[in-house]
Copies of this chain bind each other. A is one copy, B any other.
Amino acid sequence: MRIAFIGLGNMGAPMARNLIKAGHQLNLFDLNKTVLAELAELGGQISASPKDAAAASELVITMLPAAAHVRSVYLNEDGVLAGVKPGTPTVDCSTIDPQTARDVSKAAAAKGVDMGDAPVSGGTGGAAAGTLTFMVGASAELFATLEPVLKQMGRNIVHCGEVGTGQIAKICNNLLLGISMIGVSEAMALGNALGIDTKVLAGIINSSTGRCWSSDTYNPWPGVIDSAPAARGYTGGFGAELMLKDLGLATEAARQAHQPVILGAVAQQLYQAMSLRGEGGKDFSAIVEGYRKKD
């Protein structure tokens, strides 16, 4: 299949690599010449613009940093919608606000293009290993077309509803995740301060009503879970700056929908304060350090 792949950053490049390995012919675009050269060596074709990449392809995939990039890559004069052939299935895998996802999809529909959103979770590790989760907002027909291709880059391909719902699912999940991680941090730090063994406490929580992924899989307290970022100085994993971005999308979407998200807003500010302290490059579970006395 001839696939346009636009946006070859930390996530996009390994995703494109997996599609090349799977035997597809990729038409690539990015501003970074180095990564283009690398992927060309693996067999990819370099395009001069998103327009050209889209014009030469049967499927379009984009993976960009933020909503402004999505708007320009699709809507600019040399953008995807200027080149894409009517009927070409198109999907944006960026994490952006649902409204932009819907707006750009509407512009695509005006050109006869069915465009969905499919933000991912799983990080750069999952992108390299091809084990990402894709949360897909698309018509049933488009989803059926996209699913086998997305499967070559991920493990779970979830259909969330119409266009925009992929983004909604992701920001709602991450809103909860950002809150849960702070909740676990407070519970663990309080238990520690009051004198219970933290491994014992985690064990009780994990078999009780406080049970959650942030505790049983990714516990922020060092010494509780060997495979969690807490065990390696909060390196790797899901950076606090990325959590901050997603909480920003969630609270902004909430604002537009006139929907209060009280703990979500506090969580955003606490990660922001962590970032201000210069800790934004760490895994987001390092939020727990703000609850512990420095040694």
Contacts and interface: CB of A to CB of B under 8 A. Distances in A.
A220 interface: no
Nearest to A185: B263
Tier of interface size on chain A? 35 or more
Interface stretch (A30-38, A54-62, A189-197): A189-197
Interface stretch (A71-79, A107-115, A268-276): A268-276
Number of copies: 4
Nearest to A184: B176
Contact of A273 (B164, B207, B260, B264): B260
Interface in A204-218: 204-205, 207-215, 218
Contacts of A292: 276
Contact of A276 (B252, B275, B291): B291
Interface of A: 98, 121, 133, 135, 156, 158, 160-161, 164-165, 168-169, 171-177, 179-180, 182-184, 186-191, 193-197, 200-201, 203-205, 207-215, 218, 248, 250-255, 257-270, 272-273, 275-278, 290-294
